[in-house]
């Protein structure tokens, strides 16, 4: 099989990999569905109700949640900072100039 793959052109090899990934995804999905059906069947046999989540990833309740700004640039009131992540450049410059963080709290 390795000799066969090494003789393939770049386009053919790319297409082969894409088809293999698609076939693998279909097989995994079919196996997943089969296992879920087996679980449902076993649960039904002992009169237990089961339900499955549709998504595999856990839902993040905070995703998209905006945090209110806590600090404001006195020189440009449009520039604010929530206090999370890296300090903005204007905040770094003011602190380097000898100011304290609490001076800019909203």
Determine the pLDDT at residue 100.
Answer: 93
Would the pTM of this model clear 0.75, i.e. be above it? no
Contact 51, 40 (CB under 8 A): no
Using 50, 70 and 90 to split pLDDT, how confident is the model at 56?
A: low
Q: What is the DSSP secondary-structure string of 29-67? A: HHHHHHHHHHHHHHHHHTT------S-SSPP-TTTTPPP
If DSSP codes are grouped into helix, strand and coil, which group holds residue 78?
coil
For 58-80, write each residue's pLDDT tens digit: 667 777 778 899 999 999 999 99
Alpha-carbon gap, residue 22 to 10, rounded angstroms? 18
């Amino acid at each position: 099989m390795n000799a066969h793959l090494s003789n393939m052109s770049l386009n053919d090899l790319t297409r082969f990999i894409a088809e293999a990934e698609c076939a693998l995804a279909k097989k995994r999905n079919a196996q997943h569905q089969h296992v879920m059906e087996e679980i449902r069947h076993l649960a039904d046999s002992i009169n237990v109700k089961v339900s499955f989540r549709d998504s595999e990833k856990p839902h993040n309740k905070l995703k998209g949640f905006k945090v209110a700004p806590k600090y404001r640039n006195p020189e440009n009131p449009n520039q604010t900072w929530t206090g999370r992540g890296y300090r903005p450049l204007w905040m770094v410059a003011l602190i380097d100039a000898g100011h304290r963080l609490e001076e800019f709290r909203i």
